[in-house]
Amino acid sequence: MANKTFYITTPIYYTSGNLHIGNAYTTIVCDSIARYKKMLGYDVYFLTGTDEHGEKVQKKAEQEGKTPQQFVDDLVIGIKDLWKRLNIDYDKFIRTTDDYHEESVSKIFSYLLKKGDIYKGEYKGWYCTPCEAFWTESQLKEGHLCPDCGRPVHEAKEEAYFFKMSKYAEKLVQYYDNNPEFIEPESRKNEMINTFIKPGLEDLCVSRTSFDWGIKVKEDPKHVIYVWIDALSNYITALGYNTNDTKLFDKFWHNDEDHEILHVVGKEIMRFHVIYWPIILLALGLPLPTKVFGHGWIVMKGGKMAKSVGNVVYPDTIINRYGLDALRYFSVSCIPFGQDGLFTPEIFVDNFNNDLVNNYGNLLSRTITMVEKYFSSKVPSYKGHVTKYDEQLEKDMIETKRIYEQKMDKFYVNEAIREVFNLLSKANKYIDDTEPWVLAKDESKNDELASVLNHLVLVLKESTIMLSCFLVETSYKALEQLGITNDSYSNILDFKGVDNVKVNKKDNLFPRLNPKIEIEYLNSK
Ligand code: MSP
C-alpha cells in the first residue's frame, strides 16, 4: 500500500515588513513536524507562502513609492531567503499574487455566487483597517476597539457581497462534535463556540470596494474579493484545485485514516480557520481538514512580539551569533502547549547553556573522548545488562521513544523535545552513577566500562535521531562525530547498531555562552 499522506501548512504571511522570530516560530514548528512525519515514512507535503493582497499592502507600497506588485516582490525575496537560512524544507511556496491562485479563487467565488451561498447586499459595520476585519457592535471591545488588536475601528457602509455563513452553522458544529480533535487546544474550541457560533453566526462580508489591490469579482469588477477568502483558499489552490493539474489535490486533500491535513496557526487567526474556512469547504463540497492547531505567541516582557509595538527580535540576530539550531531549539521548546512563551535574553542564554551545551554537547564530547581514550575510538559491542544501571537506562530509552512519538503525533513539539532532553539528563546521571573513569583504572571492570560506553553511544544515537527534525545542523554533526551512518528512524532502538562503529572527535556542538556578555548583547539589539 502507498504511504499515508500528511499535508501540513503554515499560515501565509503578510507581506507588510520583515518577519520576526514570532513569525519564524510557526514555520520552524511546521518544518519540524514535517521532518518528523517524513522520518516515520509518511508521504509529506509542506506548504508555506505569502498573503499579498489588501488595503494595508496597497498603502505601504504607496508610502514607499512602489507599485503594490513591486513592493510585494521585494519582500518575498527576503522571506524566501529567510526560510533558506532557517533550513525550511518546504515543498511549495504559494503567493496569493500567483496567476493560478488568482484564477482559482475567482472560480471559487463565481461558483458560490451561482450556487446562492454568496449574495449581494449592503454592509454596515465597524471596520478595523490594520486587521482588515469588519466587526459587529457586540463584538467590539469597550471603547469601540477592535477585539483582536485593540485599536480603534471606524464605522463603514458599502455595497458588498455576503457569504451565507448561517446556512452551514449547524453542519459545522456537527463536525466539531464528531471530530473532537479538530480544534486544538480544546479551550479554543469553547471560545469559538461561545463567542461566535452561539450568539448566531452572521453572514460574512466577502468583498471590498475601498481599494483595488486584490482579486476582482469577475461578475462585478469594482469589488475585490475579501482577503481572507483569497488567503484561506491558498490551502487548496496550492494543490491545484480548479486548475488543469489537480494531481496534488487529488492526492493530499483527503481526511481519513490514511490522509491527514493539518493547519498550524497562531491563536489570533483561529476564528478564520475553524469557522470561515470549514464553511467555505462545506459550501464547496470538499473534505474538512483533520486538525487546526492554534499555538500561543512568543511574548516579550511588555506583551506580544509585534512590529507595530516595536519589540521584535529578528531571526538573524540569533542565527548570526549562536547558529541556526539555537533559534530552532528556542522556537520548538519555548511555547508550552496551549499557552504563550516568554522570550527574554536571560531565558534564552540559560536554556542554551543548560540544555544544548551541558546536557547534549558535553555528553557527546565526554563520551567520544572516553571511547577514543579507552577503546581506541571503536565503540565496544553491546553485551546486554552488564552494570546494574544498564537495564534501567534501556527502559528509559524505550519509554522516551514511546512518549516522544505520542507527543509528536499530537504535535506537542515542546513536550516531545523535553522528553529527549530528559533522556539526555538520565544519560548524564548514568555517567555519574557508573563512574567510567574509576572503572578504567581496574582491568577486571573492562566489561562494565565497555557496556557503559556502548550504552552512552546508544542513547546519543537515539536522542540525536529524535532531535534531527528540530536541530537540523547539529544532529548531522553529532552523528558524524559518532560515526553513525545508519541513522534511519526504524533503527533507533537497535541495541547492536553501534557495535564497532568508529567515533571521530571534532569541535564541541555548542560553545558555552558567557551569560553577562550575551545578555548585554541581546538587550542591545
Ligand atoms: N496573513 C495572515 C494569515 C493568513 S492564513 C490563510 C496572517 N499573517 S501574519 O503574518 O500576520 O501572521 C502569520 C503567523 O505568524 C500567524 O500564525 C501568527 O500567529 C504568527 N505570529 C505573529 N506574531 C507571533 C508571535 N509573537 N508569536 C508566535 N507567532 C506569532 O495572520
CATH code assigned at 463:
1.10.730.10
Nearest CA to ligand 1 atom 5: 11
Q: What is the end-to-end Cα distance of the chain in Å, rounded?
A: 53
Whether 434 is in a domain gets the answer yes
Please give the pLDDT value at position 1.
52
> Would the pLDDT of 335 be above 90?
no
Nearest CA to ligand 1 atom 6: 232
- Mean pLDDT in residue range 463-488: 96
Whether 477 is in a domain gets the answer yes
Nearest CA to ligand 1 atom 9: 13
- In the numeric block, which cell numbers belong to residue 225? 474579493
Q: Using a 6 Å cutoff on CB, does residue 13 contact ligand 1?
A: yes
Please give the pLDDT value at position 525.
80
- Ligand 1 mean position to 24 CA, how many Å? 9
- Mean pLDDT in residue range 103-109: 98
Whether 449 is in a domain gets the answer yes
The CA distance from 525 to 317, in Å, is: 8
Write down the mean pLDDT value for the chain.
94
The 10s digit of each residue's pLDDT in 114-153 is 999 999 998 888 988 888 777 888 889 998 999 988 999 9
Whether 80 is in a domain gets the answer no
Please give the pLDDT value at position 392.
98
- Mean pLDDT in residue range 282-291: 98
Specify the higher pLDDT residue, 55 or 420: 420
- In the numeric block, which cell numbers belong to residue 185? 487546544
The strand pairing partners of 360, in sequence order, are none
Percent of the chain at pLDDT exceeding 70: 100
Nearest CA to ligand 1 atom 21: 23
Q: Using a 6 Å cutoff on CB, does residue 19 contact ligand 1?
A: no
Whether 326 is in a domain gets the answer no
- Ligand 1 mean position to 12 CA, how many Å? 8
The CA distance from 26 to 297, in Å, is: 9
- Mean pLDDT in residue range 380-387: 97
> Would the pLDDT of 220 be above 70?
yes
In total, how many domains does the chain have? 1
- 3-state secondary structure (DSSP) of residue 175: helix
Nearest CA to ligand 1 atom 10: 13
- Mean pLDDT in residue range 70-94: 97
Whether 292 is in a domain gets the answer no
The residue whose CB lies within 8 Å of the most ligand 1 atoms, and thus the one to mutate among 9, 16, 19, 23, is: 23
Whether 441 is in a domain gets the answer yes
Range of the domain at 455: 347-491
The CA distance from 453 to 437, in Å, is: 11
Q: Are 408 and 32 in contact (CB under 8 A)?
A: no
Contacts of 117 (CB under 8 A, 6+ apart): 163, 164, 167, 283
Q: Using a 6 Å cutoff on CB, does residue 283 contact ligand 1?
A: no
